[in-house]
């Protein structure tokens, strides 16, 4: 007496309930699961590599399932990234003409987001590896620039403290400005150079922005969402090639600490000079 054939893995996957809205589905759930399973078994570590492995072995996959719409891809609409990147660049350039480059340096992370999207559209492995360093570097510059403003143009921060005096915790304004500027600059600098405690530094920065949202309301919430999102990426990913590039391999902790300290002072001096120089060129703030 012959036994009935055992259901295959594909039969099991076909029996799973697909939670997606049917009118939006381009690839069946078994097709997606089969591609991911085979890609992971082949050693692929991300969606891009999984699809690349699938393209190499399409004939094998189509023996099992039809894949009439091609292979699934997490960025099947990657052209949208290119349009979004272009749109963000246009808006940033328009704002620079309207308000001046000097004022738009607070928001360099927006071009950083545009470059991130453009690199996602490019989809080459090298471009994909550059995305997080670009995000982290652009946000680091933006936050260091706003920190320098607290030293060189404290009137802006004082105006905010006048409207929210409880933020001073009873300290005098000069002390609050000095502490806030130092902490903000140091954390922003660490975003670009830190390694071991990078996630902790990003989480601390994120906590500062989140704690300010109830105080300043809905507008502050919208304005800081991109910053919080980038910090969340850093918390999840940790050190990237940006931080690793600034490390001196084989030089020891003391030499690396001295190098980073010197870079800190150089960066602070350059931003001070850049701020004064651009302010003098513009003629007013």
Cα distances (angstroms) measured from residue 252 to each of 194, 221, 249, 272: 15, 42, 8, 30
Predicted confidence at residue 31, as pLDDT, reads 85
Provide the pLDDT for residue 241: 77
Alpha helix segments (H runs only) across 105-172: 109-122, 125-152, 155-163
For 15, the token pair is: 């029996």
> What is the band of 227 on the pLDDT scale with cuts at 50, 70, 90?
confident
DSSP symbol at 65: S
Of residues 19 and 146, more confidently modeled:
146
The confidence band for 1, taking pLDDT boundaries of 50, 70 and 90, is: very low
93 and 198 Cβ atoms separated by less than 8 Å: no
Q: Which residue has the higher pLDDT, 281 or 253?
A: 253
Range in 13-22, 139-148, 268-277 the model is least confident about:
13-22
- pLDDT tens digits for range 51-74: 888 888 888 888 888 888 888 766
Identify the DSSP state of 4.
Answer: P
Give 283's DSSP letter.
Answer: S
252 or 115, which is more confident = 115
H helical segments located in 154-247 = 155-163, 173-193, 198-216, 218-237, 241-245
Sequence-ordered list of residues with C-beta below 8 angstroms from that of 267, at least 6 positions apart, any chain: 144, 189
The pLDDT of residue 56 = 85
Residue 141: per-residue pLDDT:
93
Residue 263 structure tokens: 């870079």
Helical (H) or strand (E) element with 52: helix 47-56
Contact between 254 and 78 under an 8 Å Cβ cutoff? The reply is no
The structure tokens listed for 229 are: 């999102």
C-alpha to C-alpha distance for 278 and 145, rounded to whole angstroms = 12
């Amino acid at each position: 007496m012959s036994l009935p054939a055992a259901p295959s893995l594909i039969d099991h996957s076909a029996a799973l309930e697909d939670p997606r809205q049917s009118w939006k589905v381009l690839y069946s759930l078994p097709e997606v699961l089969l591609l991911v399973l085979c890609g992971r078994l082949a050693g692929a570590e991300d969606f891009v590599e999984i699809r690349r492995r699938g393209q190499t072995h399409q004939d094998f996959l189509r023996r099992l399932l039809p894949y009439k719409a091609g292979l699934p891809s997490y960025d099947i609409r990657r052209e949208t990234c290119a349009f979004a990147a272009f749109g963000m660049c246009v808006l940033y350039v328009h704002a620079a003409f309207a308000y001046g480059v000097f004022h738009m340096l607070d928001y360099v992370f927006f071009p950083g987001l545009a470059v991130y999207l453009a690199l996602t559209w490019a989809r080459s492995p090298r471009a994909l590896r550059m995305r997080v360093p670009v995000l982290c570097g652009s946000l680091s510059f933006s936050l260091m620039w706003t920190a320098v403003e607290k030293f060189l143009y404290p009137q802006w921060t004082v105006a905010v403290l006048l409207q929210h005096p409880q933020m001073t915790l009873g300290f005098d304004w000069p002390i609050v400005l000095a502490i806030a500027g130092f902490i903000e600059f140091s954390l922003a600098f660490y975003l670009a150079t830190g390694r071991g405690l990078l996630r902790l530094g990003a989480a601390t920065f994120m906590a500062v922005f989140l704690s300010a949202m109830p105080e300043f309301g809905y507008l502050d919430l919208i304005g800081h969402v991109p910053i919080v999102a980038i910090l969340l990426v850093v918390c999840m990913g940790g050190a990237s090639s940006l931080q690793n590039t600034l490390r001196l391999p084989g030089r020891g902790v003391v030499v690396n600490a001295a190098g980073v300290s010197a870079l800190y002072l150089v960066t602070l001096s350059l931003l001070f000079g850049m701020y004064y120089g651009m302010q003098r060129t513009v003629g007013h703030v």
